[in-house]
Chains A and B, each alone.
Chain A
């Protein structure tokens, strides 16, 4: 009897997976508002099925392992570059994207995809310093430099209250920036300097963390993070909602930081190119694009969207950096296989020290 009930229960779910037109979207978790999806589904009489990843490398690894059939993916620039060079993407038909003119030209023609043959900017995030404003004020520290993440003289006051991203590329990039190099420097000597800098600071950090630092910031356990702008924004929203007596704010270090421009691309093996173009065009509409920024506090490359974005977000320099700040931002490039292997070993040395 119970088995029969269970079977019916299961069939119910399997049945729900059937629909005529399904758009397979491979996206970051929480990177599109549910109401936006619902509106698109209503307009196209189709269904959007999402799979999520939490890291570009994870997504690339899954695609390299043969995952296919996604219509749309939303990778960061360096991952777009990798996918283009692999020949995994389908060129865009710009005639189907009349809303493309909404994108700020500053975000077009990026080095990873000149003339945007394959990619359309979706949103961007910065990797910067986020902190508990009241605590940092109390401790009389300044947050305008990566020094606060790497220098023991400042970290002494913050022992066990700091997390850094559990990402080889991001942490190395911050260290390289602090040392005055480019985030894309691939000189092994510079990498080793960065490694030693990280190892020296490590005893003061609570964790390498790419996930739960949002919550730890909100709760007040962690006071300073090396993290993503949208996560820090989220932490602040949560802290306000929970009536905490502090604010979570962020700053772009004067040495510079990493900017990640996420773009929509079509996987070659996807079976709905027309529907995918409609989706991209839909997301290029200012109103739809703004919805994302209002939800998660991501940067928005869409000029038409700005008018719909809540002012406290559009005026936040850590979400929408000004021209002077933009100059100090760099996008990561992809590493080759040899560099990836060396970086992995350096990372292991960092973790084990």
Chain B
């Protein structure tokens, strides 16, 4: 992807900075600088009323200066690691279910006549036109004990002599809403990838005697891996930081990292510890993103 021709090099560099400069500047100012402030905050003491304790105070009795106490606190009890592991599995489950649901849909759209594709993609995005909280609220209605679904499930369980279950306020409710809210993030990159596959490859495979499944597993699926990885990253990461869904639909045990971080800022007013938790989460997320990028990028160079 590098420019070869000598006479173009300078123009290309100019184009690179003309194109990339404005977004870079914007993000440096509104993302990098605030992030640095956040990292610094994790080494401070919490203010008595929230916020941060001063770095220097005239009164020597006031808590001041920098400290590693939030990190010590984090590792002093396994509970915080457990929250991370729990959130990781929730994100993993959501991603897998999203993938299983999104793939046939994305494939169907990609294989449809061109004039229909835009409409079909729009139909995936349209549910996004309603507010996120409303979409979560819809599941409160669907999963509520009076709902048709709940009664069906419980009648079914009753047939086999099982005790009735509560669908609402459960890890199941959290998972289904997580999938519902994030599904389009999986469909779009997948479609974007599948759509540009060269049909002649499949024709060639067919000429070589491959049946439908073989053509899918040997040709379509490997080629779609970059789409799978970017879609997975787009689902996995927001789920990892989500707090609203466990808040609204969760039961007594549904606490994820997002809830914990939110609580530090909105409940406990412990910004330094909240920053520490966020940094831990960022590290986890970076590892995952790096992994996805590496896998996706590696397989992506087929051109």
Contact = CB atoms under 8 A, between A and B. Distances in A.
Contact of A352 (B146, B255, B270): B255
Interface string B37-67: 0000000011111110000000000000000
B266 A64 contact: no
B252 A345 contact: no
Interface in B18-54: 45-51
Contacts of B83: 348, 352
B42 to A, nearest CB: 14
B51 A349 contact: no
A347 B270 CA distance: 14
Contacts of B273: 341, 344
A323 interface: no
Interface stretch (A137-145, A174-182, A201-209): A201-209
Contacts of A207: 169, 250-252
Nearest to B250: A207
B117 interface: no
Interface in B267-287: 267-270, 273
Interface in A163-218: 166, 168, 202-203, 205-209, 211-212
A63 B145 CA distance: 39
A351 interface: yes
A77 to B, nearest CB: 15
B201 to A, nearest CB: 41
A219 B252 contact: no
A348 B51 CA distance: 21
Interface string A219-244: 11100000000000000000000000
Given A160-B166, A349-B79, A82 B49 contact: yes
Contact of B267 (A160, A221, A344, A351): A344
Contact of A57 (B144, B252, B267): B267
Contact of A61 (B45, B50, B252, B254): B50
Nearest to A353: B253
B103 interface: no
B166 A206 contact: yes
Contacts of B264: 344
A160 B260 CA distance: 24
Interface residues of A, number: 39
A64 to B, nearest CB: 3
B125 to A, nearest CB: 18
A55 interface: yes
Contact of A64 (B45, B49, B86, B252): B49
Given A64-B50, A64-B51, A65-B51, A340 B252 contact: no
A345 B77 contact: yes
Nearest to B251: A207
B136 to A, nearest CB: 11
A61 B251 CA distance: 25
Nearest to B164: A160
A86 interface: yes
Residue of B50, B77, B144, B265 most packed against chain A (CB within 10 A): B50
A353 B252 CA distance: 9
B269 A340 contact: yes
A337 B270 contact: yes
Residue of A61, A203, A206, A337 most packed against chain B (CB within 10 A): A337
Nearest to B73: A341
A58 interface: yes
A58 B140 CA distance: 24
Contacts of B247: 166
Interface in A148-171: 160, 166, 168
A261 interface: no
Nearest to B270: A341
Contacts of B169: 206-207, 209
A343 interface: yes
A61 B270 contact: no
A336 interface: yes
Contacts of B80: 348
B82 interface: yes
B59 to A, nearest CB: 15
Contacts of A64: 47, 49-51, 269
Interface in A5-64: 55, 57-58, 60-61, 63-64
Contacts of B268: 57, 168, 340-341, 343-344
A351 B255 contact: yes
B47 A337 contact: yes
Nearest to B45: A337
A211 B50 CA distance: 25
B90 interface: no
A344 B263 contact: yes
Given A207-B251, A337-B47, A344 B140 contact: no
Nearest to A66: B51
21 contacts: A57-B267, A57-B268, A58-B266, A58-B267, A60-B269, A63-B50, A64-B47, A64-B50, A85-B48, A168-B268, A202-B253, A212-B140, A221-B145, A341-B73, A341-B270, A343-B268, A344-B267, A348-B79, A348-B83, A351-B254, A352-B79
What are the 6 tightest A-B residue pairs by CB atom distance, in nearest-first order?
A: A64-B50, A351-B255, A207-B169, A344-B268, A57-B267, A337-B46
Given A58-B267, A341-B73, 5 more contacts: A65-B50, A65-B51, A85-B49, A347-B263, A352-B86
Interface of A: 55, 57-58, 60-61, 63-65, 82, 85-86, 160, 166, 168, 202-203, 205-209, 211-212, 219-221, 336-337, 340-341, 343-345, 347-349, 351-353
